[in-house]
Amino acid sequence: MKLLVGLGNPGGKYVGTRHNIGFAVIERFAERHRINLKKKGYQGIYGVGRAAGVETTLLQPQTFMNLSGASVNAAFQSLGVDPGDLIVVYDDLDLPFGALRLRPGGGHGGHNGIRDICSVLGRKDFVRLRFGIGKPVHGNTTGHVLGRFSTDEMTYLGELIETAVDAVEAVLTGDVQTAMNRFNKNLLDSF
């Protein structure tokens, strides 16, 4: 069993914001693999199915970003997955828009959702897929992460989300290092 988590904030006002890119990637993954994301549990919305031949639980925590650890831990403990079988997808200010970075572990990098997950789980050795959203032009970080993608960004967003789903599939069916070699780049360079 793999546990695939997309981070974001619940509620209609956050749909389509940069901070909810984890939710968007999970939703597209669910569509591609026909996994119904409608069950309520683990303090979130989840679905279970086979993705790329692997039994996978998809989870969107409903605890708000900064308290994601409670939801992730509930699923992690209940499902009994190994740390290497937990994959968390989230936004990253430190990466330019269009960049993806897979990592098999590490620190929180200032991301409050990841900080909370590490704290509640008591470990850092889970797989992360960071989706670059870039830094704000005028320094308003909160406004940037809770804002919507620009018109220019929207031109590429669908394809970037598809590539993020491809990256998750590569982790599910292979190893993280091989997936890192393939997907850790700025995707806009190839458009």
- As annotated, the active-site residues are 19
Spatial separation of the C-alpha atoms in residues 160 and 163, rounded to whole Å: 5
DSSP character at residue 85: G
Spatial separation of the C-alpha atoms in residues 78 and 119, rounded to whole Å: 18
Q: Of 65, 109, 91, 64, nearest to 153 (Cα)?
A: 91
Q: Of 29, 143, 20, 153, nearest to 91 (Cα)?
A: 20
| Cα dihedral sign, 101-113-97-2 | positive
Q: Of 190, 115, 124, nearest to 160 (Cα)?
A: 190
